[in-house]
């Protein structure tokens, strides 16, 4: 499925989350064969895991252990094309469990602590503009969920999460590229639960997957494409790909 996606869309850089495999089991050879020979991989057995695959050289590969739990939830690198240098951060933010209560639910407390630490991440580092992508597991706007009123107490759209995500954006000076291109008034989802048998007609989605950048990169953005149809592929993910195109 991933190979078919890359064949059809030919992106220069692909960021994956929830790879769920150790580094030595990641299928690097398969990606080499289709032109993605530059890899930044940070995975673990059975859980989490992030990876960046590229047609272009990758430098300064690193990861940060948010909350000091040893989870593989972040990886970063610098990608270069000609005179353009960009730092890419790829995140898998904790989902937060089922109950939005830090006293009863350690997973939710972990999520909020993770967001607090993300506030230290700046959109510009060493004069290199940055792009931040990933499954951030929060739908921040009312139009990012199928029902704002019904999801206010549901993990991923509670006020403490949406306000926390906005605080991360403000502290780091990040721009929401998806909403820069697609008006905030428009309903937009990137995730539909497996529990919904007729996901398309029910359309009870959430926008959990994000692409942010340094503000100066917003002017180079030419398109955002959310591949809703991918939710209907054979053995699909409950998340769909989000593609950002730039002209540098």
Whether 61 and 105 share a structural domain: no
Whether 211 and 161 share a structural domain: yes
Whether 117 and 240 share a structural domain: yes
Whether 15 and 117 share a structural domain: no
pLDDT, one tens digit per residue, over 137-154 is 999 999 999 999 999 999
Asked if the structure places residue 74 within a domain, the reply is: no
Asked if the structure places residue 170 within a domain, the reply is: yes
Whether 108 and 230 share a structural domain: yes
Q: Is the pLDDT of residue 1 over 90?
A: no
Burial (0-12, 13-18, 19+ Cβ within 10 Å), 222? exposed
Whether 122 and 33 share a structural domain: no
pLDDT, one tens digit per residue, over 213-224 is 999 999 999 999
Helices in the chain by DSSP H: which ranges?
A: 2-9, 28-33, 106-118, 148-151, 159-172, 177-181, 199-202
Within 10 angstroms of residue 48's Cβ, the number of other Cβ atoms is 20
- List the beta bridge partners of residue 145: 206
Nearest one of 32, 35, 29 to 12, comparing CA atoms: 35
Asked if the structure places residue 110 within a domain, the reply is: yes
Asked if the structure places residue 77 within a domain, the reply is: no
Whether 14 and 129 share a structural domain: no
Report how far residue 141's alpha carbon sits from residue 153's, in angstroms, rounded to the nearest whole number: 14
pLDDT, one tens digit per residue, over 83-126 is 889 999 999 999 999 999 999 999 999 999 999 999 999 998 88
Whether 104 and 21 share a structural domain: no
Whether 38 and 104 share a structural domain: no
Count of structural domains within the chain: 2
Query: Domain range for residue 128?
Result: 93-246
Q: Is the pLDDT of residue 208 over 90?
A: yes
195 Cβ contact partners less than 8 Å away, ≥ 6 residues apart: none
Structure tokens at 218: 């917003």
Whether 219 and 139 share a structural domain: yes
Strands 175-176 and 205-206, bridge-based pairing = unpaired
Q: Is the pLDDT of residue 229 over 90?
A: yes
Find the CATH number of the domain harbouring 124: 3.60.10.10
């Amino acid at each position: 499925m991933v190979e078919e996606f890359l064949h059809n869309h030919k992106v220069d850089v692909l960021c994956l989350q929830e790879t769920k495999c150790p580094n030595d089991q990641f299928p690097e050879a398969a990606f080499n064969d289709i032109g993605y020979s530059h890899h930044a991989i940070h995975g673990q057995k059975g859980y989490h895991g992030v990876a960046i695959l590229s047609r272009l050289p990758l430098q300064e590969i690193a990861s940060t252990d948010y909350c000091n739990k040893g989870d593989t939830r972040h990886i970063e690198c610098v990608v270069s094309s000609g005179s353009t240098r960009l730092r890419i951060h790829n995140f898998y933010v904790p989902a937060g469990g089922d109950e939005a209560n830090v006293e009863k639910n350690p997973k939710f407390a972990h999520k909020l602590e993770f967001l607090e630490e993300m506030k230290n991440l700046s959109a510009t580092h060493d004069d290199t503009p940055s792009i931040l992508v990933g499954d951030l597991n929060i739908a921040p706007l009312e139009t990012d969920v199928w029902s704002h009123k019904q999801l206010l107490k549901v993990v991923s759209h509670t006020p403490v999460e949406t306000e926390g995500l906005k605080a991360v954006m403000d502290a780091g000076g990040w721009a929401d590229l998806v909403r820069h291109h697609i008006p905030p008034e428009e309903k937009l989802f990137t995730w539909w639960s497996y529990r919904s048998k007729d996901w398309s007609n029910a359309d009870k989605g959430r926008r959990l997957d994000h692409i942010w950048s340094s503000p100066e990169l917003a002017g180079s953005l030419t398109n955002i494409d959310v591949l809703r149809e991918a939710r209907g592929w054979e053995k699909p993910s409950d998340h769909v790909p989000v593609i950002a195109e730039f002209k540098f």
